[in-house]
Amino acid sequence: MATKNRSIFEEVGTTQKQVAAPGGIDRGGQGARGPIRIWLGIIFALVGVMILVGGLTRLTDSGLSITEWAPITGAKPPASEAEWAIAFEKYKAIPEYQLQNKGMSLAEFKGIFWWEWGHRQLGRVIGLVWALGFFGFLAARKIPTGWTGRLLFLGGLGGLQGAIGWWMVSSGLGGEMLDVASYRLATHLGLAFIILGFAAWYIFLLGRREADLMQARRSGDTRLFGRSTGLMHLAFIQILLGALVAGIDAGRAFPTWPLMGDSFLPPDPFTITPLWRNFFEDAGLVQFVHRMVAYALFLYGAVIWWGARRGPNGHTRFAFNAMFAVMLLQVILGIMTALYSAPVHIAIVHQIGAVALWVLILRGRYLARYPLAQSIRGDK
């Protein structure tokens, strides 16, 4: 029996070949990346304002004006003269009033009270914005795969920050303390920058699909990412040192530059016992360490910038150019803050500069890890 030759164009079977769908990594797991990014942007902005208001609260010596921690009932400020009198009497019982502000009028007390109340109220607003957003997205099942824990972690840091805030304030309510403990202030400010950093990093990551991030990572600069990670850690240490300077008013101790008075080292830097306390409580030594780390940070930042400017990706180059420009400005602001004995308007701009530099370092680090796509010709 003769067999019929099959045409090369004839289909062998009726089973249809399956073709892999594009974007399989992202299917079903993207969630509401855009709306969540906007929500995180609002939190980021509020935390930035919180750092600004916290700095002004410290610079105006307002942080101890509210002597109780009442997360819920404290949201309502005094509404009558009787309530104001009660709040004022509580303030009169602490050392700051008795040793420094004795004779302060009720009107003057109201001035510092509103700064601290506004600072705490802003913290409540941030907590409310986080809770409404997180549980709203969770209920609507719009959180991308793998992001529930990250967003919950951010809220947990916010709750911890509230508790640390009271831990800080309580340190200035007894004994002969005229201010809060500087190391507790540094802890409080440091955590604020950590929260700000995580919010910024999450915003960066949510700006692209997971598949796009995986693709971008293949062309990332591992060395630049590692170096910028080191820069991030050094910048964080400098932020903590800046908080120590603010906590003991060390910025007003030596209004000279580049020397500390008439010498390179501050005079008698180790008079406090035990020895380690000098690094937290001696104004001259604390300012000196802050200056030395600033020099190290600037030099290391310059080395990283010099290497990044020769990279192939124009977006990454621009990010590190912006970072180094703000770093240079921050150095100038730091010198001015020291020379003019830390006036409020310069000191607060210096703190804003720290926020801007922190975010730009993170942005550069992100683009070193996940560079943005560009044309084949590149950005010359």
pLDDT tens for residues 260-305?
A: 989 999 998 899 989 999 999 999 999 999 999 999 999 999 999 9
Closest Cα partner for 143 from 214, 40, 23? 40
pLDDT band at 30 (very low <50, low <70, confident <90, very high): confident
pTM of the model: 0.89
Provide the pLDDT for residue 178.
Answer: 83
Q: Where are the domains of the chain?
A: 30-207, 218-380
Q: What is the pLDDT of residues 116-157, one digit of tens each?
A: 999 999 999 999 999 999 999 999 999 999 999 999 999 999
- Single-letter residue type at 37: R
CA 127, 196, 304 angle in degrees (round to 5)? 175
Residue 377 pLDDT: 59
Q: What pLDDT score was predicted for residue 159? A: 95
Q: Which among 209, 197, 186, 231 has a CA at the least distance from the CA of 355?
A: 197
Mean pLDDT value of segment 172-199: 92
Position 5 confidence tier, pLDDT thresholds 50, 70, 90: low
Per-residue pLDDT band at 374 (split at 50, 70, 90): confident
Helix spans in the chain (H): 33-59, 81-92, 95-99, 106-139, 148-170, 182-206, 210-218, 222-247, 278-281, 283-308, 314-339, 344-369
Model confidence at 177, in pLDDT bands (50, 70, 90)? confident
pLDDT value at 16 more than 90: no
pLDDT of residue 14: 47
Statement: residue 77 has pLDDT above 70 = yes
Half-sphere CA count of 366, side-chain side, radius 13 A: 24
- pLDDT tens digits, residue range 178-189? 889 999 999 999
Judged by average pLDDT, the poorest of 10-24, 152-166, 168-182 is 10-24
User: pLDDT band at residue 62, thresholds of 50, 70 and 90?
Assistant: very high
